[in-house]
Chain A
């Protein structure tokens, strides 16, 4: 156990945690927006997977990670369109549609990948890092924290932006009203349907970006089912963060670290079975739920389709 506090271990833990945590950050931020507006988006996993596939294809053919990430955003938003039409506009069951979207995304990405590449997995080039001059010199953690792809910094910026939007703008107020008391929003003359539609679209875009990050920045390849539950973990993070964007950062990094602890432990010379390690993030979630269940908070009108005049 002597190796646990060495630089290698801490660096691997922190940079690995960031690498695995950033897609969770995008995913759970998206889920936060949609949950606050009253839509429980169980299709997040599917949206992330579509983003991962489209992002990979985009980056592969354009040779640019940015085009890839944009393709991921587009694919995620496109997938969420189904949710907008079926759940927000028509009021269909959000859980059924969410499961359907996830199954469809898993099947379609696997089939498309198989039809195109068979069992080969082409690799993308590494993404260039942006190093922040002074801060990256901080011993131990400086380099792993402040030498990251640009999109990581963007991610944190988007969280702060969302926080500000919820706190200080009319848009944020409308979003929250759509989740807490949609009839009040309607009475104030703002369309609940439109507000929720934009929320779900934003969620899809962010989930797609998170998925794109997984395939383009994180792995550099696309493998079917590669999101491997990241979408579902994001949903839990969003629930535990109780709709507060800044807590989303903390949650994502924590879960990211529990995802990356395996590699870090191996670097420190401690071998534990990979299956045990893969259990860790999910076990953390369950443990967190058991401990903090009382405090998990969900908006009053979550999951309830809005029908004007219905009681």
Chain B
């Protein structure tokens, strides 16, 4: 096992022993139970729609909370408490520390989303809709946007405290989502001025991918209160489903933010 793999396993073990991720996991399960109960109150196709609305809300808001919570404390806390100092003093490289901290938290986020996703599939079975493939795809697509948010908060955590890192991570998410909304508006000729600038910024900026299921819900105005259609110049903009290039670009940004985190940690004093 390489030093980086050992450090990642160590970070995962420490993460699994913290209480709040388990509380978040349980709270998410509670929300899903509520969504299932509400869905059971509906009939026919409305049942699945109700469950999907609950799922999109949970995966967005709950996922953001978990991603920001994981990312914002990934480098600053261990730098200040002496944990990274202990490891660097023993011979660990700072690059390995950053990679292991980020990777462990991405795995933690993936585990939380996978368990929520599995619970949602159980909910779909309970309401009699069978396994919901579109919802599973949506969960995976949301995970990429949340990974971007986590990486942004982690990059900030290399130089600032937890609260500021949460603000930065949330700002990156909102900016990326706004870019997606503006790009969708440009593609439908809803803006007219500054289209080239929006296209250029969209081409290089971070993106939040949209799943086919969410695109369908938005198109019908049924995506739930957490993901409403955006009004631009008096036109309601529904996001189109993202393709593989957008998913790949989002993951490129995750790696880039990991490099930013390393740059921040390279000369950071460690306790």
The judgment on whether A and B are partners is: no
